[in-house]
Amino acid sequence: MTAQDNAVYIHTMERLLPIVQELSASRDLPTVMDIVRHSVRDLIGSDGATFVLRDDDFCYYAEEDAITPLWKGNRFPMTDCISGWVMLHRTPAIIEDIYTDSRIPLEVYKKTFVKSLAMVPIKTNEPIGAIGSYWGQIHNTTFEEVKVLQVLADTAAIAMDNIRHQDIIAVKAKQLEAAIDSTMFAVAKMVEQKDLYTSGHQRRVAHIALTIARELGWDEKRCEAVFRAGIVHDIGKIGIPSELLAKPAKLTACELALVKTHPEAGYEILKEVPLLLPMAKIILQHHERLDGSGYPCGLQAPDIFPEAMILAVADVFESMISHRPYRPALGVDAAISELTANKGLLYDEKTVDALVRLVDEKGYQLPL
């Protein structure tokens, strides 16, 4: 290698480094292919580049960047194309003159600008694709150029593996979420069977809280977390005698004190499941009030989770518009008046405003 060649090689390697970093951090296949096809032409100075994926017994030319179109979107049998040869032999193909190489299906190549090519497998052990580089003039591919191609292919392989694992994890997480949801619904039913007067209360609170969170512009994951917390927010009532929950009269101070243990009881139940700990913490705070007058901890504004503030507003609203054993339903107007009169004092202002907007301006239909 001459001194000039060496300088070019070092310069290419310096340009390759950020590309490798970008490629490794890619989170989807189109991005991987996009980076590779541009980088091949930029780094090697070729006239075309393709990204080929193995599709059973076919080579799928998934992406390309070339001076004139090559085969993007086409599929060829593994045994009939050079990328298939590369994958089947698990080794690069370096072809200086395609018209003198028996591996080349000339009828296909005659219609293209290609005179020389270099192709390397993606994953040498068990190829899942190939990266190709093409020249319109006879080109003597150097060892360094092949090395650059192979680094791109190896990095693409790692990125594709990462993407596949992330996809598997995402599917598993969805399955787990679905399992948790059905368990939560079952648990909610258990509590509500014990306390018939609040049957459906948790579901309705969850629905109201979810709608408020969306109105506040929260991202969907966080909205879903609020919904899930709502579904079981009174789970701690499972430890309170049914007669007390259904008592058709005002509770004594002693009885009230017992009912007020339900946020902590709910927290104690849910915190045992590590995945449910964040939900347990929200539930613990759903009777806290901004001025510290709530229970069980008498927390004040900055220490109360926004999720718990939403649940608090949804809980008060739903309770006031519903019939209770000790009083008839008070109605939407009374509920909105109570929340509005105490917004910024007991209840979070933005949360109350969001609910008022939903009810007064956006025709929010309360869940049955």
Point out which residues bind Fe ion (CB under 5 A).
Answer: 234
Please confirm whether the linkage preceding 77 is cis (ω < 30° from 0): no
For Fe ion, the closer CB: 64 or 234: 234
| Crossing angle for the helix pair 220-231 and 201-215, to the nearest 10 degrees | 160
Q: What distance in Å separates the CA atoms of residue 206 and residue 209, rounded to the nearest whole number?
A: 5
Find the Cα–Cα–Cα–Cα dihedral 66, 71, 73, 75, rounded to 10°. -150
- Position 176, amino acid: L
Spatial separation of the C-alpha atoms in residues 232 and 309, rounded to whole Å: 16
- Looking at the Cβ atoms of 154 and 234, the one nearer to Fe ion is 234
Distance CA 241, CA 359 (A): 35
Look-up of token digits 């694709």: 129
The closest of 317, 10, 28, 296 to 156, measured between CA atoms, is: 28
Which of 64/288 has CB closer to Fe ion? 288
Using CA atoms, how far apart are residues 224 and 333, in angstroms rounded to an integer? Answer: 28
Q: In this structure, how many other beta carbons lie within 10 angstroms of the beta carbon of residue 163?
A: 16
> Which CB, 37 or 237, lies closer to Fe ion?
237
Amino acid, single-letter form, for residue 238: I
The continuous run of DSSP H or E covering 76 comes out as: strand 75-77
In the complex, what is the shortest distance from the CB of residue 72 to Fe ion, in angstroms, rounded to a whole number? Answer: 60
CB contact at 8 A, 234 and 262: yes
Q: Cβ 328 to Fe ion, closest distance in Å?
A: 20
Judge contact between 185 and 193, C-beta under 8 A: no
Closer to Fe ion by CB, 234 or 288: give it.
234
Please state the closest distance from residue 205 (CB atom) to Fe ion, in A. 9
- Cβ at position 248, least distance to Fe ion in Å: 19
Task: Write down the least CB distance from residue 167 to Fe ion, Å.
Answer: 39
Q: What minimum distance in Å lies between the beta carbon of 16 and Fe ion?
A: 60
CB of 338 to Fe ion, least distance (A): 16
Residue 235 near residue 208 (C-beta atoms within 8 A): no
Cβ closer to Fe ion: 23 or 284? Answer: 284
Whose Cβ is closer to Fe ion: residue 51's or residue 317's? 317
